[in-house]
Structure 1
Amino acid sequence: MSLQTLSEWLRCPNCFLPLSPNEPLALRCGSGHSFDVNKRGYVSLAGSASGLIGDSAAMVDARALFLETGWYQPLRERLAERVAAEDPTRVLDIGCGTGYYLQGILTHSPAVRALGMDLSPVAVRRTVSGQTHVDGLVADVWSPLPVRDASADVIVNVFAPRNASEFHRVLREHGLLFVVVPQASHLRELRAAGLALDVPANKGAHLSAALSPAFELETRDELSSTLRLEPAQASALIGMGPSSHHTDAAALARQLSGVQTVTASFELLGYRRLSN
């Protein structure tokens, strides 16, 4: 990360003018709005209007612990292959989490310049750590994104909220949006035990309908596997997502004993940006 590469992604969240480097660690627009850049390599342009809170440090730690087991490696590989087929130079990961999927993309496409965006500063910090080709942004996906028009060749959105109109704006002409959503059978064993939230049926089809004014579905991959998880791995899986807000840790510890057989089932959907 450098001030220059970070600024090339961004616009002012107040007046929407481009941001430029302002040494030693700040970005500034032509109207005089200035924003401090964290010395760890990211900038926060989230504001406080929405009142939303990003993932906690405990949730990010749980995600890192689970993903390090390699259970979601097939999904990461398929996503990286799909992105590499586009031969992109600039990739925007919205909802970057720990940077796990972005690291896979960079392995397949080492020349890519990437921006990892999340509402959680803890997540963005982990995404940019040690990554020379990744800039970091803390921002709210539901607000106008502080990202310049047509600045990304590819947007990646893995288990994260989506803002169709803003995604359309920041993607270049005919760029690709890759979205990963859970299928109805995802974590069904944990849901049956009351340890995970329900997944709406036909989520991929509903998503395609919602995106249809701005994007056209081009590719669809289904990935499914059976995981045999130790209690600590199952606990991390629950703790890394929204189910963690609804699960009592002590009760969870009592329920998880022995190996847990869990279904993991995803859809990887590729959407081509339609012209204005």
Structure 2
Amino acid sequence: MSLQTLSEWLRCPNCFLPLTPSGPLTLCCASRHSFDANKRGYISLAGGARRLIGDSVAMVDARGLFLSAGWYAPLRERLAERVADVKPTRILDVGCGTGYYLEGVLDHIPEAQALGMDLSPVAVARTVAGHDNVDGLVADVWSALPVRDAAADVILNVFAPRNPAEFHRVLRPSGMLMVVVPQKTHLQELRAAGLALDVPANKAENLSQTLATQGFDLESRDELSAALVLNPEQAAALIGMGPSSHHTDAEDVAGHLSPVQTVTASFEVLGFRRRTL
């Protein structure tokens, strides 16, 4: 990160004017609102009005453990291929997690600049670590994003909350929104055992209908599915890295896992083209 490249993404969360460097680790706007970046390569503009909690250290660690084993590598590769087809120069990853999917995209487009955004400071720190072309932002996706208008060519949104109106604003004209959602069969074995949350039926169809009203047209749709044969540690990491971890106890999870656990992983990769409203 450099303070200059970080500032080029951002606007003031208070008055919405552009942020610019002002001092070694400070960004400010023309209204003299000032914000401190940190030496780990990111800035927090989440504010304190809402009591929101991002992913914990344990969740981020579990995600890192599971993803580093390559179980979701086919999903990362398909997403990266779709993004590379667009030839973007600026990529915003909303809900970046550990940066696993963004890193896969940048392997295909190493010259691109990226901003990894998440509510979890732990996640953002992992995303920016060791990447000179990735800046970091801690922010709340449900609020007005502290990101400038038309700042991104592509938005990544992988298993993360969405703010369609704000996504439309921060995407350039004809930019792409790439969304990954689970299919109904995703983690069905764990759900049957009460270890994972339910997946709503017709999730992709409902999302497409919602985004169509917000200025996005579905342009591509890929379905991926695989049977993963996991040991208890891997299965526990899979449960612990997602929202199911908020509703399960680690010891209880361990007691329900078999020595070898077959788990269905099924996703949809949806590409939406921004249109003018």
Residue 249 in structure 1 maps to residue 212 in structure 2? no
Residue 115 in structure 1 maps to residue 115 in structure 2? yes
**Structure 1 stretches of 5 or more lacking a match?**
none
User: TM-score, with normalisation over the residues of structure 1?
Assistant: 0.99
Q: CA deviation at 1:50?
A: 2.1
- Name the CA distance, whole Å, in 1 between partners of 2:109 and 2:50: 35
**Structure 2 stretches of 5 or more lacking a match?**
none
Partner residue of 1:41?
A: 41
* 1:134-170 deviation line (CA, Å, top 9, x unaligned): 0000000000000000000000000000000000000
Q: CA RMSD in A?
A: 0.5
- Name the CA distance, whole Å, in 2 between partners of 1:26 and 1:58: 30
Partner residue of 2:58?
A: 58
* 1:94-118 deviation line (CA, Å, top 9, x unaligned): 0000000000001000000000000
User: TM-score, with normalisation over the residues of structure 2?
Assistant: 0.99
Partner residue of 1:102?
A: 102
Q: CA deviation at 1:257?
A: 3.0
Partner residue of 1:145?
A: 145
Partner letter of residue 32 of structure 1? Answer: R
Partner letter of residue 258 of structure 2? Answer: S
- Name the CA distance, whole Å, in 1 between partners of 2:50 and 2:84: 35
Partner letter of residue 251 of structure 1? Answer: D
Q: CA deviation at 1:275?
A: 0.8
Partner letter of residue 94 of structure 1? Answer: V
Partner letter of residue 6 of structure 1? Answer: L
**Match runs of 1:166-245 below 5 Å:** 166-213=166-213, 214-245=215-246
Partner letter of residue 113 of structure 1? Answer: Q
Partner residue of 1:75?
A: 75
Partner letter of residue 262 of structure 2? Answer: T
Secondary structure in 1 aligned to 2:37?
strand
Partner letter of residue 194 of structure 2? Answer: G
Partner letter of residue 222 of structure 1? Answer: E
* 1:68-100 deviation line (CA, Å, top 9, x unaligned): 110100000000000000000000000000000
- Name the CA distance, whole Å, in 2 between partners of 1:89 and 1:273: 16
Q: CA deviation at 1:193?
A: 0.3
- Name the CA distance, whole Å, in 2 between partners of 1:72 and 1:48: 34
Q: CA deviation at 1:250?
A: 1.0
- Name the CA distance, whole Å, in 1 between partners of 2:142 and 2:40: 25
- Name the CA distance, whole Å, in 1 between partners of 2:182 and 2:83: 19
* 1:13-42 deviation line (CA, Å, top 9, x unaligned): 000000001121010000000000011000
- Name the CA distance, whole Å, in 1 between partners of 2:72 and 2:161: 20
Secondary structure in 2 aligned to 1:85?
helix
Q: CA deviation at 1:48?
A: 1.6
Sequence identity percentage = 74
* 1:210-249 deviation line (CA, Å, top 9, x unaligned): 1002100000000000000010000000000000000011
After the TM superposition, list the runs of 4 or more consecutive aligned residues in structure 1 that deviate by more than 4 angstroms: none
How many residues matched?
276
